[in-house]
A = this chain, B = another copy of it.
Amino acid sequence: MTASPPNPTAAILVIGNEILSGRTQDINVQFIARRLGAIGVSLREVRVIPDVREVIVGTVCELRARVDHLFTTGGIGPTHDDITSACVAEAFGVPWEIHEPSFRLLEAHLAPGSFNAARQRMATLPRGAVPIPNSVSVAPGFTIGNVHVMAGVPRIMQAMFAALEPSLPRGRPTVSAAVQAPGLLEGAIAADLEAIQADFPMLDVGSYPFDRPDGRRGIALVAKGLDADAVAAARDRIAAMIRDHGIEPVQGEPAP
């Protein structure tokens, strides 16, 4: 294994009262987290904050200083509570102004007479922002500096991420292997698992109990890291350890 530069780092900022009230179950974090893992970008932190100007501006400034890439979701639609775009302009200290190409794109896309003031806000971007195309509803996200501003609606966010992905820097992708120990409890294998973790310090060895409504119970043991050979070796050690406890291991994650 030769030395490689460290992977790029990232954070996700989820902006929206509807997540904090429990109205909406976020599913964007898992989507972005998996895609970042696959291209070797290391997700360090997620925050969920309300649609409050000073909180958005302050958190964007704080997080973007701390990671290589900050992804935001939510708050870029046409309504009065969609204030993310203006707040990001404020965080960067640049004007928030009509972005002509996006304006023309939306104008051409919408029915005559329906490109009202509210919709024109969706073509208003921080000066210097580069639009992120939106194949679902045309109104763009945007990148400014190391901040990528995306929609909160999952289908639109996913389209924006797909458009953005080719321009993101890549690191070494995370490789992981899971082995199930049906019927086993964490407390029974904790010491053995710690010994395996100690032998593979370059990996994260984790233990995740599962307990399905259909009665399947056990633990999923996961080895994860950048070194595929080490992951395979750790997986074999985990499987042997499960056998030592008198249980036949099952490869892979448990079905939902």
CB within 8 Å of B: which residues of A? Answer: 14, 17-27, 29-37, 43-50, 77-81, 110, 114, 116-119, 122, 153, 155, 174, 176, 186-188, 190-191, 193-194, 197, 204-209, 211, 222, 224, 253
Q: List 29 A-B contacts (CB under 8 A).
A: A14-B46, A17-B204, A17-B224, A19-B33, A20-B33, A20-B44, A21-B33, A21-B34, A21-B37, A21-B224, A22-B29, A22-B31, A22-B34, A22-B37, A23-B253, A26-B30, A44-B50, A46-B48, A47-B48, A77-B186, A78-B186, A79-B186, A79-B207, A80-B194, A80-B197, A110-B187, A116-B188, A116-B191, A119-B187
Copies in the complex: 2
Considering the complex, give the chain B residue whose CB is closest to the CB of A198. B80
Please determine whether A222 and B48 come into contact, CB atoms closer than 8 angstroms.
no
Please determine whether B47 and A45 come into contact, CB atoms closer than 8 angstroms.
yes
Considering the complex, give the chain B residue whose CB is closest to the CB of A208. B18
Q: How close is A102's CB to chain B, nearest CB, in angstroms?
A: 14
Question: In the complex, which residues of chain B have a beta carbon less than 8 angstroms from the beta carbon of A114?
Answer: 187-188
Interchain CB contact (< 8 A) of A29 among B19, B30, B35, B45: B19
Complex: A79 Cα to B122 Cα, angstroms: 48
Known: A117-B191, A186-B77, A190-B78. A208 touches B29 (CB 8 A): no
Considering the complex, give the chain B residue whose CB is closest to the CB of A115. B187
Known: A187-B78, A197-B80. A153 touches B211 (CB 8 A): yes
Q: How close is A55's CB to chain B, nearest CB, in angstroms?
A: 8
Residue of A17, A27, A29, A110 with highest tally of chain B CB at under 10 A = A29
Chief secondary structure at chain A's binding surface: mixed
Known: A116-B191, A191-B116. A25 touches B22 (CB 8 A): no
Residue of A20, A118, A153, A187 with highest tally of chain B CB at under 10 A = A187
Known: A77-B186, A186-B79. A30 touches B20 (CB 8 A): no
Question: In the complex, which residues of chain B have a beta carbon less than 8 angstroms from the beta carbon of A204?
Answer: 17, 81
Complex: A117 Cα to B18 Cα, angstroms: 43
Complex: A117 Cα to B80 Cα, angstroms: 56
Please determine whether A79 and B21 come into contact, CB atoms closer than 8 angstroms.
no
Complex: A45 Cα to B81 Cα, angstroms: 18
Interchain CB contact (< 8 A) of A23 among B32, B186, B191, B208: B208
Complex: A209 Cα to B75 Cα, angstroms: 12
Complex: A122 Cα to B209 Cα, angstroms: 15
